[in-house]
Amino acid sequence: MSSERDLIERYFAAMRRGAAAEEEMMELFSEDVVYVEPFTGEAEPWVGKDAVRTALRQGWEQPLPDLELEVRRIDISGSQATADWVCTSPALPGPVAGKDEYTIVAGKITRLVVRLVAAPD
């Protein structure tokens, strides 16, 4: 298994655990990480570990019950990677799907862009 794939799988394992895995999650990011996400409603990217921690904590304040997060595919090309995922919870009207785009340098996530995509049938 590549170190990039391992890093992404550790990221998803921490996401599944939520707030309980906060420190584990933060170790995956570089100090100057850039995080772009659709969940908080912020138009600007979160820059730096402290900012990413703030963004993640917002989501952890009201976690989805019985959350299931399935990684469907991980593709890696050099320092760039993508991961397709599907999230389900009884609190959601249906499955939510996404595609994460990672830049990985020296074993750390330096950029993470999360995009929502059409849910699979």
Number of Cβ atoms within 10 Å of the Cβ of 52: 22
On whether the pTM is more than 0.85, the answer is: yes
Closest CA to 29 of 112, 109, 111: 109
Residue 23 has pLDDT above 60, yes or no: yes
Name the fold adopted by 3-117: Nuclear Transport Factor 2; Chain: A, (3.10.450)
pLDDT in tens, 32-45: 999 999 988 888 99
Three-class secondary structure of residue 57 per DSSP = helix
44-102 pLDDT tens trace? 999 999 999 999 999 899 888 999 999 999 999 999 999 999 999 999 999 999 999 99
Residue at token pair 């991961």: 83
Specify whether the CB–CB gap between 2 and 76 falls below 8 A: yes
Burial (CB count <10 Å: 0-12, 13-18, 19+), residue 35: buried
